[in-house]
Chain A
């Protein structure tokens, strides 16, 4: 199998394998598809034509009598990277800085937000002030330094590091979740594309050791970069992981008798460059290259951490954190990470009319007509109330509360929402509703007062409220109690996304969309409004809250014509002083095209390809 069969290692340094850069610098048998450094015109037909000639020899700084030469750009440091000049701040790390001129230094243990460990040795580059190769992540840039990231010596070092890392790496790609997002795989194809020279067995360690409720460890795949250890110690401030053992017998583990049960354990899975730490919830459920990613905002609490929603078809598989310097940096809490489940489970898909035995499916038009009839009779009276949920997006609330005020003539709405939970020291807030601030702002802007849920309960018990228009099915107390209370209502119109005890009590049940199924914005507890994008359209009769509100208003005779969340925002946001200045289009996160297999684009109507209406579709619970 390996080329050096028959040659037992004898302790002396072996020559590099044939075809490696130090022997054949310009291998005729291969391209350099390690894609020429992404310069501004790097892709497309024009690529490769602006060849920068490599510097023949490093420019020597002019000698000044005693002391260092004056910096070329005062306040900054000027270095030469692969023949190109780079001006960077002295505090910037070399690995990040060289990306500006299109150089790409590979790394495993370096992370922008963690301390420097420099133990993976993958980022070794050649610099002019050292005879040995130096780790780029640890070397501060000096004025006039010449950095080479691509010469044969550096390439051989990268190849050698990869060879060593892969020497004991288990042959797990077929069963490892990280495949498709694995740095070993990516760097192998770019920097070391040779066969193995290992003779004998690989070192075996504990596989699939459960570290905590969310994380499972495979010690064989670990490359001992210590990113997880540093993260838990520095960012989560709960040092629950440690490196044990010495030398080549090192391994990552939790302390004896302890678990990795921090609320931030999921981030170690994200930052682990290989498949050593894996998410138990996501394990074996999907291959990453089949997943599409939509930039979104977490709805687990009111912090509003930025996320990527990884979905396939019309199911959400996981949340991953998205970089946001202000709010969540690159992290998410576990509770938020797992809060995607309600998007898939027990979703309502059909419009239903009637309670109990009279319940039947109906068309949206029929349901809306009956709702409009009932509400027109009660509009303006005290018998009609509106229950708004702070889980709905700003656009949903704008349309709904405007409908409540204009069509139903109300002056106050009740507030539902998820009940409070524990908070923690970093990201998780006790308020588990993503848009409470937005609801407060919108109500204030539209001159509606907000009343707490308990008052609604009293009003129903006292018989004052007879009909209720509930936008969102999340309630802050036990749903069975609420259902019991709602049973006393004469007419309940419920727009909910998930089935629960309350939905059985609705006279008219309208299925609503969740945040991944429509665009919009949330305002977090600090008053930061953030945009999220749509991942996939909802199934069957699912519509956003604003769409139902607009349709109802049309039944009432209002000439509302909004057909998208954007229209809704443009129409009503100017009345809300805090939202009037929000740049709805500009704040939208850029759509990210994933590498590798890109999923099929949706059709012109936004539906997934080949979408058919075959009656009420299966709503798979995941």
Chain B
């Protein structure tokens, strides 16, 4: 499908890819080196032959329980070109200890929330992200839920109530918690 796009990118940046392969269902994947992510994304977005301007989504996979489990995390990116009507799939592999990947926010604004999602649920940091905090979980949450070693029914400690100003709690209260 979009092996065409991947081949074009490979010509321009031959060192950016660890490998390119087609999965069993026919989808073309490019496995990137983390340092070349920004270059490749910018090229994909700007080159008129590629024109992958639509940032569909990104997510991560924790490969702990698969046979091929090192490196542990895979961060996957999905892009689309509305002019060429092609999907593109990229992935970056990151190891277990303090995984860090350059952020794509400077190139695609939509990556902002998706990277926060990956940080929230997998604990993968994105360097250069303007505001990397949890998005669906509350800030005091401990752990990264979608990791495979996070038990399904883990219990979280109770947290003290946040002091919220400007809420009137009744006569005699000072407005804070």
Contacts and interface: CB of A to CB of B under 8 A. Distances in A.
A609 interface: yes
B151 A40 contact: no
B30 to A, nearest CB: 13
A410 to B, nearest CB: 42
B153 A47 contact: no
A601 interface: yes
B152 A43 contact: no
Count chain B CB atoms within 10 A of each CB in A40, A41, A44 and give the residue with the most.
A44
A602 interface: yes
Given A45-B74, A49-B23, A600 B66 contact: no
Contacts of A43: 66-68
B97 interface: no
Interface in A583-616: 593, 600-604, 609-610
Interface string A265-295: 0000000000000000000000000000000
Nearest to A39: B67
B40 interface: no
A602 to B, nearest CB: 6
Interface string A28-62: 00000000001011111111110000000000000
B173 to A, nearest CB: 34
Nearest to B25: A48
Contacts of A40: 67-68
Nearest to B157: A604
A603 B155 contact: yes
B67 A42 contact: yes
B68 A610 contact: no
B22 A41 contact: no
A69 B170 CA distance: 97
Interface in B147-164: 151-155
B151 A49 contact: no
Contacts of B67: 38, 40-44
Interface in B39-95: 61, 63, 65-69, 74
B3 to A, nearest CB: 13
A603 B154 contact: yes
A138 to B, nearest CB: 32
Contacts of B154: 603-604
A42 B24 CA distance: 12
A175 to B, nearest CB: 31
A592 to B, nearest CB: 13
Interface residues of B, number: 17
Interface string B111-127: 00000000000000000
A44 B70 CA distance: 12
B21 A49 contact: yes
A601 B155 CA distance: 12
Contacts of A38: 67
A40 B68 CA distance: 8
Contact of B151 (A41, A45, A47, A609): A609
B155 to A, nearest CB: 6
Nearest to B29: A45
Count chain B CB atoms within 10 A of each CB in A44, A45, A600, A602 and give the residue with the most.
A45
A48 B68 CA distance: 13
A601 to B, nearest CB: 4
Contacts of B22: 49
B23 A609 contact: no
B151 A602 contact: yes
Given A41-B68, A42-B67, A43-B68, A49 B24 contact: yes
Given A45-B23, A49-B22, A601 B66 contact: no
Contacts of A42: 67
B4 to A, nearest CB: 19
Contacts of B63: 44
Contacts of A44: 63, 66-69
Given A42-B67, A43-B67, A43-B68, A48 B152 contact: no
B14 to A, nearest CB: 21
Contacts of A49: 21-24
B131 to A, nearest CB: 29
B9 to A, nearest CB: 20
Interface in A2-16: none
Contacts of B65: 593
Contacts of A41: 67-68
Contacts of B68: 40-41, 43-44, 46
B153 A610 contact: yes
Contact of A604 (B21, B69, B155): B155
B77 to A, nearest CB: 14
Interface of A: 38, 40-49, 593, 600-604, 609-610
Closest 8 CB pairs of A and B: A44-B66, A609-B153, A48-B24, A601-B151, A43-B67, A41-B68, A44-B68, A43-B66
19 contacts: A40-B67, A40-B68, A41-B68, A43-B66, A44-B67, A44-B68, A48-B24, A49-B21, A49-B24, A593-B65, A600-B151, A600-B152, A601-B151, A601-B153, A602-B151, A603-B154, A604-B151, A604-B154, A609-B153
Given A43-B67, A44-B69, A609-B152, 11 more contacts: A41-B68, A43-B68, A44-B67, A46-B68, A47-B24, A48-B23, A48-B24, A49-B23, A593-B65, A600-B153, A602-B151
